[in-house]
Structures are given as structure tokens and as C-alpha cells.
Structure 1
Amino acid sequence: MKHIFSRREALAGLAAAGAGLALNPVFSFASNDLKMILERKIPSTGERLPVVGLGSWQQFDVGTAAAERAPLKEVLKKMQEMGGKVIDASPMYGRAEQVIGDLTAELKLNDRFFFATKVWTTGKQEGIDQMNASLRKLKRQTIDLMQVHNLQDWETHLKTLKDWKAAGKIRYTGITHYTDAAHSKLEQIVKSENVDFVQFNYSIRSRNAEKSLLKAAKDKGVAVIINEPFEQGALFRAVKGKELPAWAGDYDIRSWAQFFLKYIISHDAVTCVIPGTSDVKHLVDNLGAGEGRLPDEAGRKKMRDWMAGI
């Protein structure tokens, strides 16, 4: 499957982008191939991030054996080559932080990624100890984004995060959850607290965030990271054996993964989506969703309607 545009294809894509370009994407060009990777700004600073990142839950929780780590090392190498940047982790994800730290150090790419991790414990000192451990495991002096995982003891940890940000130990603060039931609380915090990021679940079939949370984040200038974009694989099972609709090509969609991811990133409140994978081919496919045209609102409706009809 081809995901690298030739110069002619890239220029044609730019000329035909139409409504997709109305979202004001920023394109970065990497390597000798003309790569169009959509980036969005972090509202609080204007720093740009590629719209497709990498989750590490389960996939990066491996041991020290070379055979276990080799595929992950290739994923990280290819991600950097293609212009990807955001890697999301957590102490909850077993050995993921350590594996990411080890492999990015081996590749000498430790400072080329945007590392997002989390605090997942109760109590101020426990949180400090855990975050210091994350710094050591990730082999960083500074964490790009520290998030309160699943809102656990969020009031305590958010105070610490703000102190750490002021001290330069982290660059951004955030809060996370992965269920619809938590959206109202996330929205409340987004509106009342000064956070840089909010992370939550959102997909083409799980659209509770469209009711008000996405709008609240955009209105408050809070960057949005999306988890569970494939509903833990349920979306792929739903379309198993089915061909992409012919009109998917209007949005440069070449796979079901890109169909699902482009629906998410075509919402202009979304900063980055973090599908997890330990497979280079899947990584290339996922990052391909950040290239080419995006659906406008009419296209998004067509996508929703198609999914509802299967």
C-alpha cells in the first residue's frame, strides 16, 4: 500500500484539497519524498504537532529480549523518519515507559519525540515519586506533557503539575480519561482549570465528545488528544470483508484505518490521535491519515451514515 506521494501527486492533492484545506492545515515536508503531514497548533503556545501519534498501551509492555523489542524499535525509527512525533505512555502500561526510553536512547532519537506520560496514583508525594520515576525510565530531563491519568486524585496532582511546569520539569499539563461517563467531568475541569491538554475517547461510532466536550476544549484553547480511535478493534471487526466506499478516495483514504482516523482529525478541535501499534505496516498506514485531503462536514456526515448503514 502506497503512502508516499510523488511530487506530481502532492501538488495535485494540494490543488484539489478544497474543503479539507478550509481547516487550515500546516504541512511539513520530510526526507527526500514529498510528505504532507498535517500538523495542528497547541493553543497555549502555538507549537505544532503532527495529528497522528502513537499509543503504547499493551504494545510496548514487553521484556528485555531483543526479539520482543526489535519490532518496536523499527516502529519508533519509522515513525521519526515519517515525521511522527507524539508518543503517549503511562505507569499503568507496565514496562512501556522503560521500553520507550531504552529504545529511543538506543536509536539516539530521545529528543526527537514529544513524550506524553501520566501520573496514576493517589497522594502528593506518591505522585511526585511516580513522575520522577517516569523521568528516569524515559531518560529525559523534561517531560513534554504530564497528564493526570483517568482523573485519579486529579486535584492533588494538578497542583503538582503546575508547580513542575513553572520549574521547567514538564512543558505542558493535562488530564485524561477513556470513557463517555467521564466527559462531563473533563469538560468541567477544562472550563475551570488552566490545563494545556485534555485526552479522551472519540471515534466515528463513539461520538459523545461531539455533544459539548470538543467544543469546550476548542473554546478554552485546550489541546485535544484522542484515545480509543478504533474502539479496541471493534471498528475493524465491523467492516471485516467490506470494501471502502468509492467516494473514500475523495479524501485520500486508502484503508479502513485511515477512514476511521480521518474522521477524527477532520474535527478541528482535535490536535492529535494516538492509535497504538507494534507493527511498522500499521504505523505507516496510520500516519498516512495525516496526509492528503480531509472530509468537510458533508463528508463527515457521509462517513457517519455509511457506518450506521452496515
Structure 2
Amino acid sequence: MTLSRREILKMYGLGSLGLAASPTLVSFSKTQKMSTRSIPSSGEQLPIIGVGTWQTFDVGDSAKDLVILRQVLDEMKKFGGKVIDSSPMYGSSEAVVGNLTHDPEFESSFFYATKVWTSGRAAGIDQMNASFKKMQRTTMDLMQIHNLVDWQTHVKTLKKWKEEGKIRYWGLTHYLDSAHETLEKIILQEKPDFVQFNYSIRSRNAEKSLFETCQRNKTATIINQPYESGRLFGLVKGKNLPDWCKAYEINSWAQYFLKFIVSHEAVNCVIPGTSKPHHAIDNMGAGLGSLPDAKGREKMYTHLKSL
């Protein structure tokens, strides 16, 4: 039987709660904690489910939307999720993240990641400093070169900033299979702390060699496009989860797709985007409980392919 996200909340006794009375982790699970993976370059533990801010956090000064997004971050925090990924490309998202987390007791709960998305050394420095200001950070956890734009220039700045302590980690990002080969070459040459790229249950190009390259060179991975821009949900609309999903504590199709991703040992974190607290609860639930083994992963892939 497939459960909707609202039915999941009901299953945990949360279905009657309105938006203003946001569910808590204590209500959802009193014993389970989100799984973590080690960042290879430091050994720091990073929770396997985070949140992306593309489109979903681009709400400007809308008071109504800001209240809802604060609840999204509240739920992530309660589950132990940490990574918030943004970019100057994402409209007002960086400033929204800064506004929502500007609280001494709240801001230290997260791992802040953003990007540089321009050409030229001076322009890159100006844009990154603007991101620090918008996100209200004195130190950025992770600064990434967005879609490899002028990466040869920016990598020099990022390495220097890491040495100076202005950023803790640096990395690269892309969202297309066609960029994977280039990402591998840069990993071999520059040894970034992180690389962010696309991977999903149907889009598995990274399994050919990119994951192995990351592991061999101690590069952590962040996964984008986990739902293929929502297309995966179209494939399973009206379809029931197979009974064997219970063995992996999968209660929704969102968890099905996310658990497939994080069950790959080379994945450090996946960043599904959402602007809805009940979706955040569902997404974070994928970081709890058991994960499929290699045989289970292929079973999941085969089943989806048959629908």
C-alpha cells in the first residue's frame, strides 16, 4: 500500500495538526536518528538528507512564505538534517536563508553551502562576499563553483580562502551527465573537498566512474536532481508501493527515491528541495532506518522500470 505524505503524518499521529502546529521529531520518532556519512577530507559527520533552495526559497519578503519556510527548517533540524544548499542564481534564496536562520540558537544547527556563479576573479570575490552578507555568515561551510563557470579562476580563490579560514570546504557543481567526465578530471587535478552532481534511480551515469573517482580522491558528494525535477512522481502517480518496501522502512515514493540514492556508499548527502513542512518531514524520514543493499537497490530499479 502506498501512503500519501498526509497519510504518513496521520500514521505518526500528526494528521490533525495544522500548519501553525508543526509536527516535531519527538512525535515522529522517539528512537531513530538520521544516518550520517563522513566527509573524507576531514572526518566530519554529515547527515545524509539536506535541503535545496532552488525556486522553493525564492520568496523575497513574503511574510506568509517565510513562516512556512521557517517550519521547513525547523523540521529538518528536529530530524538532525543540516545541509542547506543555495546559490546567487536562486533569486532571493540566499537572503531568505540568512533571514530565517539569523538566531544564535538556530544558525549553528546547519551546514551552509552556496556557490559562485560568474566569470573573473574580482567579480567572483564580489559575488561570494555578497553571498556571505545575504546569508549572514562570517564563515561559509562550503563554497562551490556553480556549473563549473570559470572554475580555473575561482579554484585559486577558494583554496586561498580555505587556508585563511573564510570557508571550511570548497567544491564544484553541475547537474548534467555530460559534465561528469569534466568533473572527474578536475577532481583528479585539484582534489576538491566536495562535488555536487545529478544522480537518481533512473539517472545513474555517475555509477560508471564518477562515484569511484570521488571515493579514490577523498571527495565528498552532494546529490542534486533526486526527483528528476518531479518527473519521477509522474511515473508512480496512483501506483502502490510494493510490500517488500517495508523491509527498508520506505513509506512513500519520495522515500523510495531518496533511499535508493543514499544507499549508495559514495553518497554523503542528497538535497531535495521543498517549501512544504509535511514534505520536509517525508524527505527527512528517508534518512532514518535501514537502507537497501546492492540486491535491494536493483530490485527497486527493476520495479520502477516495470511501471
TM exceeds 0.5? yes
1:156 and 2:146 correspond: no
C-alpha displacement at 1:204, in angstroms?
Answer: 0.1
Greater displacement, 33-42 / 103-112: 103-112
- 1:104/1:252 CA distance change after superposition, 3 Å: same
Separation (CA, whole Å) in 1 of partners of 2:286 and 2:60: 31
**Corresponding residue number in structure 2 for 1:292:** 289
Q: Name the amino acid aligned to 1:144.
A: D
- Among 198, 204, 208, the alignment partner of 1:207 is 204
**Corresponding residue number in structure 1 for 2:111:** 114
8 Å contact kept, 1:4–1:35: no
C-alpha displacement at 1:4, in angstroms?
Answer: 10
C-alpha displacement at 1:2, in angstroms?
Answer: 5.3
Identity of aligned residues (%): 56
C-alpha displacement at 1:106, in angstroms?
Answer: 4.8
**Corresponding residue number in structure 2 for 1:42:** 39
**Corresponding residue number in structure 1 for 2:137:** 140
C-alpha displacement at 1:36, in angstroms?
Answer: 2.3
1:165 and 2:178 correspond: no
- Among 239, 255, 258, the alignment partner of 1:258 is 255
1:3-62 alpha-carbon deviations (Å, 9 max, x no partner): 999xxxxxxxxxxxxxxxxxxxxxxxx869222210000000000010000000000001
Q: Name the amino acid aligned to 1:298.
A: K
- Among 81, 84, 90, the alignment partner of 1:84 is 81
8 Å contact kept, 2:191–2:217: no
- 1:3/1:130 CA distance change after superposition, 3 Å: farther
Q: Name the amino acid aligned to 1:127.
A: G
Structure-1-length-normalised TM-score: 0.90
Q: Secondary structure at the match of 1:37?
A: coil
Separation (CA, whole Å) in 2 of partners of 1:4 and 1:114: 30
- Among 174, 179, 184, the alignment partner of 2:181 is 184
Separation (CA, whole Å) in 2 of partners of 1:181 and 1:87: 25
8 Å contact kept, 2:9–2:278: no
Unaligned segments of structure 1, at least 5 residues: 6-29
Separation (CA, whole Å) in 2 of partners of 1:66 and 1:2: 25
1:94-145 alpha-carbon deviations (Å, 9 max, x no partner): 0000000001115841221000000000000000001101111111100000
**Corresponding residue number in structure 1 for 2:65:** 68
Q: Name the amino acid aligned to 1:258.
A: Q
Greater displacement, 107-116 / 233-242: 107-116
Separation (CA, whole Å) in 1 of partners of 2:57 and 2:105: 18
C-alpha displacement at 1:80, in angstroms?
Answer: 1.1
Separation (CA, whole Å) in 2 of partners of 1:290 and 1:76: 15
- Among 230, 235, 238, the alignment partner of 1:238 is 235
Separation (CA, whole Å) in 2 of partners of 1:294 and 1:244: 16
Separation (CA, whole Å) in 2 of partners of 1:180 and 1:196: 20
8 Å contact kept, 1:202–1:209: yes
C-alpha displacement at 1:65, in angstroms?
Answer: 2.2
Q: Name the amino acid aligned to 2:66.
A: R
**Corresponding residue number in structure 2 for 1:272:** 269
Q: Name the amino acid aligned to 2:265.
A: D
Unaligned segments of structure 2, at least 5 residues: 1-7, 13-24
Q: Name the amino acid aligned to 1:105.
A: H
1:147-193 alpha-carbon deviations (Å, 9 max, x no partner): 00000000100110000000100000100000011010001111111
- Among 93, 112, 118, the alignment partner of 1:96 is 93
Q: Secondary structure at the match of 2:299?
A: helix
Q: Secondary structure at the match of 1:225?
A: strand
TM-align CA RMSD: 1.6
8 Å contact kept, 1:77–1:107: no
